[in-house]
Chains A and B, each alone.
Chain A
Amino acid sequence: MTEQPKLACRNIWKLYGPDAESYLEKHPDPTLEDIRAAGLIPAVRDANIDIRDGEIFVIMGLSGSGKSTLVRCLSRLIEPTAGALEFHGQDLRAMSEREMIEIRRHKLGMVFQHFALLPHLTVLQNVAFPLTVQGQKKAAAEMRAREVINLVGLEGRETYYPRELSGGQQQRVGIARSLAVEPELWFLDEPFSALDPLIRREMQDEFLRLQGMLKKTIVFITHDFDEAIRLADRIAIMKDGAVIQVATPEELVLHPATDYVEEFTRHIPRAKVMSVGAIMERGAQGSGAGISQTAKIADIAAQVVAAQTPLAVADDRGQIVGAITREAVISVLVEQGT
């Protein structure tokens, strides 16, 4: 491994029920059936993930698969039953309460499914809240709060109370609030699941726009595979508390680790996740200034199909590395139909 991950989680377990800890000590590697037979609830089983600097890491799974529990273990909102956590190489689980408070105040941010806004505070006060908890002066905190409120497009609503806002606007407040302290690591637990589908898309775009500007390290939870595909750099798929595959959207679709994963990916249009790089002819000649090799096929399909000749493909630095043919694109598009 070349680069140290921002947050590493090693063999994290979370079992609910009486004496879960001693059970796990006695049975170091129980199966799902063992745990259930012992009358415990397996919320997270032996999870291993690395969150890399600057990536959007999506945790995907059906409801009850343990996503929220896992992400709460990562921030020690819930104490894991077993396992290790490393934040910047520091042992997070060894930190004292006081140290955790400091880390949470300055380095972590979290957005919640049902927004978790404080009903008795205005938008401005809600967003300034984490800053005032740190002890910042009201004026400074409110100035910073106004900045992030503008960032999420809520200027003019500062004096509103949460219940006077729509769901989408409330979640913008939630996002602004979690960004106010400029967290290094940003957790979002199904932030858009409570919103209508149309608003959800709009919020996803907004989220990508923000991330384009802020370049945070993000752990994003969703039960919606389409959302995962749209947003993720990498996706972890969870089932019954276990992480069954961690991969880029493209790898997931092309090489699902299990039937379960394949089931999810089946309805996903290949063109949406496959990048130009996957089907280009390396070293071949093409016309044009060069399509980015990381572009999704769906986005460039019209262009390629309309062109008479193969189009040139460039890498990140603009170097031409190959070409993409009309036939290759069409075969990806057609494969979808079957």
Chain B
Amino acid sequence: MRVSRSSLLWIGLFTVTWMLASYGKSMATAADMKWLIKYPNAWVFPLKDTISDMMRWLVEDAHFGLFTFTEATRALSWLIEQPYNFVRALFSDGFDRRIGRDAVQIVPPLSWIAVLAGVIALGHYAKDWVLAGIVGASFAYLAVFGQWESAMVTLASVMIAVPIGVGGGLMFGILAYRHPLFERLMTPVLDLMQTIPIFAYLVPILFMFGFGPVSALVATVIYAMPPMVRITTMALKAVDPEIKDFGVMTGCTTRQMTWRILVPAAQQSLMVGVNQVIMLSLNMVIIASMIGAGGLGFDVLSALRRLDIGGGFEAGIAIVILAIAIDRLSQAFAERSTMYVPTNSGTSFVARNPRTVIVGVILVIAMGLGQIIPFFQTYPEGQTLTTGAFWSDAVKYLNINYFDQFEAVKIFFLKGFMLPIKRFFLGVPWPWMIAMIVLIGWRFGGWKLALMNGLMAVFIVTTGLWAKAMITVYLCGASVIIASVIGIPFGVLAAVNKRAGRIIGVVIDTLQTLPSFVYLIPVVMLFRIGDFTAMIAIVLYALAPAVRYTEHGVGSVSADLIEAGVVSGCTRMQILTRIRLPLALPDILLGVNQTIMLALSMLVITALVGTRDLGQEVYIALTKADTGRGIVAGLGIAFIAIIADRVIPASARNARIRYGLEGGHD
């Protein structure tokens, strides 16, 4: 039998690898070939210095005929700054005029009462009173718990980043749809952008735009735009071919085709993209605050640096609440765009736009009263509540009373689970590991994938990042194993039990809207810094796709097959293990793939808690503004991500073909 022979081969190879991991080091030392284990420094190619030099040349000397590179970035940053300053003044700072050396506020920012009324009206307009209530309560929370001002700064940057991200994504997406060549050039760039960790491009952005809100906005847009590009291209492709034919038959020009047929017909999917851009922008707020964004993100970051649990938690929760409110609102708008809403035309402006009028009236009254009674302008500081002390006390209590238990758990996992994996990856000689990576690529994706895997692995070795890369792989691998062990059963449960599914759905939704940093705060408090802490934070962050994809895969097994199982007398357990799980395997694999991607992007953040991986390398580069070092380490992470991202879907496809879910030959 061919199958069992090839699996025997793989088992054999794994055993050899394991042996090499355990005894390779002593053998290499004995044979005086230590370079097999540790890549010699002398062989490292100084790519990072080359890149640093190039960046310096770009900023200092590069010239495009009429203007220099620096002038171009300055112009761009001026363009972004104008609307940002306006929105920020409107919501948070007020409009100033400089008189001599003092700034005099001539128009105050929007009164908090007016903003509250505005978002409630938006909620009602988008859906119903329930949504209006949720959104209103969220914003009221921000005011009452003293987060208003920071939240408005964050909101202002989201309001600038989102339209740019959506507009740019739409443009690139349309271009890619229209010109297959452009799409072919775009796809690998997008892949790279989505797998490359955010930190890696913070460094060059910082270098080009300087510390400040513009850098933060640029980073946010770069981070949030790729999904919009993809979703746009996909949505336009998915428009019913009959509708496209209709457009041609009506005699639409290319422009009419795009704007009057394709984009409106794809509206619903496009709104999913808009929602993604919003959520990713919010996800970026904390990281963006490292290069100059203020607001809630900055509050969390500085709290984290001060190890101020309470403060960090409060600002973190405020981000979550803001994210949930905006998320619900944008989703409601997405659904609304496909809902029938009767227009009562013909009547007066007031009758047609009752909400606008009410909000307008409230705005005028609140701003007017605000001149006399400050309460109407800004929520009084004395009236704010704080939960900071509560959180701090809770963590203190846990640490005092359960220190031993926490410590025991930590040591158990470190000794029994994490260290062996770490030793394995660090022990295998790098030439053997590269050979394995190439072999795996060849098995699942032919010689092209094998070649790509080989080149990327060689890049990592020759830039001297091998050890850090292996720590990255180990940390990521350990986290992904834990995330899968937890996530897959919950996904199965969610698929077979409706009620459990709903609860799990809410939990996962919340986990996903939480910006990644928020996880670090409590975990650091309980377990202090180190690999274990990093792993828990990664697991929490990367859990969602494992659950989601499993649920989708198990839940979407065709009803016929399940009925066939029932008819032939399978028990529920048998239906699950014999029918649903095997058929869901490809989806589960894709979920694991996504989990790996999230884990890798989280790794960089966990550098803050003292891991020694590529993430730390990027973090150091960021603090030292060492562009080349940051980019090379970022590429290293990206390459690990790309290898995983190519190999796993390829194996999922193999599984699909094996189960006859997709055409092709094994």
Contact = CB atoms under 8 A, between A and B. Distances in A.
B246 A112 contact: yes
A101 B249 contact: no
Contacts of A72: 245
A116 B251 contact: no
Interface string A95-111: 00000111111101110
B245 A119 contact: no
Nearest to B343: A159
Contact of B267 (A120, A129, A130, A187): A120
A77 to B, nearest CB: 5
A124 to B, nearest CB: 12
A101 B242 contact: no
Nearest to B337: A120
A104 B256 CA distance: 14
B132 to A, nearest CB: 25
B536 interface: no
A134 B267 contact: no
A134 B250 CA distance: 9
A309 interface: no
Contacts of B243: 116, 118
Contact of A110 (B245, B264, B338, B340): B245
A108 B265 contact: no
Nearest to A115: B242
B250 A104 contact: yes
Contact of B246 (A102, A116, A120): A116
Given A118-B243, A118-B261, A120-B264, A110 B256 contact: no
A31 to B, nearest CB: 27
B252 interface: yes
Interface string A129-164: 110011000000000000000000000000111001
Contact of B250 (A129, A159, A164, A187): A129
B432 to A, nearest CB: 42
A134 B249 CA distance: 12
Interface in B238-284: 240, 242-243, 245-246, 248-253, 256, 260-261, 264-265, 267
A132 to B, nearest CB: 8
A187 B249 CA distance: 10
A118 B260 CA distance: 9
Contact of A164 (B240, B246, B265, B340): B340
A75 interface: yes
B242 A77 contact: no
B569 interface: no
Contact of B265 (A77, A103, A104, A119): A119
A109 B260 contact: no
Contacts of B265: 118-120
B416 interface: no
Interface in B321-365: 337-338, 340, 342
Contacts of B260: 129, 133
Interface in A71-109: 72, 75, 77, 100-106, 108-109
Contacts of A102: 251
A105 B252 CA distance: 8
A114 interface: yes
A105 B251 CA distance: 5
Which size class do A's interface residues fall under? 20 to 34
B250 A116 contact: no
Contacts of A109: 249
B240 to A, nearest CB: 7
Nearest to A108: B249
A119 B243 CA distance: 10
B242 A113 contact: yes
Contact of B248 (A104, A113, A118): A104
A113 B245 CA distance: 12
B245 A133 contact: no
A17 B297 CA distance: 54
A100 to B, nearest CB: 8
A26 B256 CA distance: 39
Given A120-B337, A120-B338, A133-B256, A75 B250 contact: no
A114 B251 CA distance: 20
Given A112-B242, A116-B243, A104 B251 contact: yes
Contacts of A120: 264-265, 267, 337-338
A75 B247 CA distance: 13
Contacts of A121: 264
B596 to A, nearest CB: 36
A230 to B, nearest CB: 24
Interface string A248-267: 00000000000000000000
Contact of B249 (A75, A115, A161): A75
B661 to A, nearest CB: 23
Interface string A46-79: 0000000000000000000000000010010100
A161 to B, nearest CB: 5
Interface in B163-191: none
**A77, A103, A113, A116: which has the most chain B beta carbons within 10 Å?**
A116
Given A104-B248, A164-B340, A116 B253 contact: no
Nearest to B339: A161
Given A159-B342, A161-B340, A110 B253 contact: no
A213 B242 CA distance: 28
A77 B243 CA distance: 12
B190 to A, nearest CB: 27
A159 B344 CA distance: 11
Given A72-B245, A113-B242, A161-B340, A130 B250 contact: yes
B248 A77 contact: yes
Which of B250, B252, B256 gathers most chain A CB within 10 Å? Answer: B250
Contact of B251 (A112, A113, A133): A133
B279 to A, nearest CB: 24
Contacts of A110: 245-246, 249
A278 B243 CA distance: 44
A105 B240 CA distance: 21
A108 B264 CA distance: 24
A308 to B, nearest CB: 56
Nearest to A113: B242
B250 A133 contact: yes
A77 B257 CA distance: 14
A72 B244 CA distance: 12
Nearest to B341: A161
A302 B337 CA distance: 58
A102 B242 CA distance: 20
Nearest to B249: A110
A106 B267 CA distance: 28
Contacts of A113: 242
Contacts of B246: 110, 112, 116
A115 B245 CA distance: 11
Interface string B464-475: 000000000000
Nearest to B254: A97
Interface of B: 240, 242-243, 245-246, 248-253, 256, 260-261, 264-265, 267, 337-338, 340, 342
Given A110-B249, A118-B264, A130-B251, 16 more contacts: A72-B245, A101-B253, A104-B249, A105-B251, A109-B249, A112-B242, A114-B240, A114-B242, A116-B243, A116-B245, A118-B261, A118-B265, A120-B264, A120-B265, A130-B250, A133-B256
Interface of A: 72, 75, 77, 100-106, 108-110, 112-116, 118-121, 129-130, 133-134, 159-161, 164, 187
24 contacts: A75-B249, A77-B245, A101-B251, A101-B252, A104-B249, A104-B250, A104-B251, A109-B249, A113-B242, A114-B240, A114-B242, A116-B246, A118-B264, A119-B265, A120-B265, A120-B337, A121-B264, A129-B260, A133-B250, A133-B252, A133-B256, A133-B260, A134-B251, A160-B340
Q: Considering the complex of A and B, which 4 residue pairs feature the smallest CB-CB distances, nearest first? A: A105-B251, A104-B251, A116-B242, A116-B246
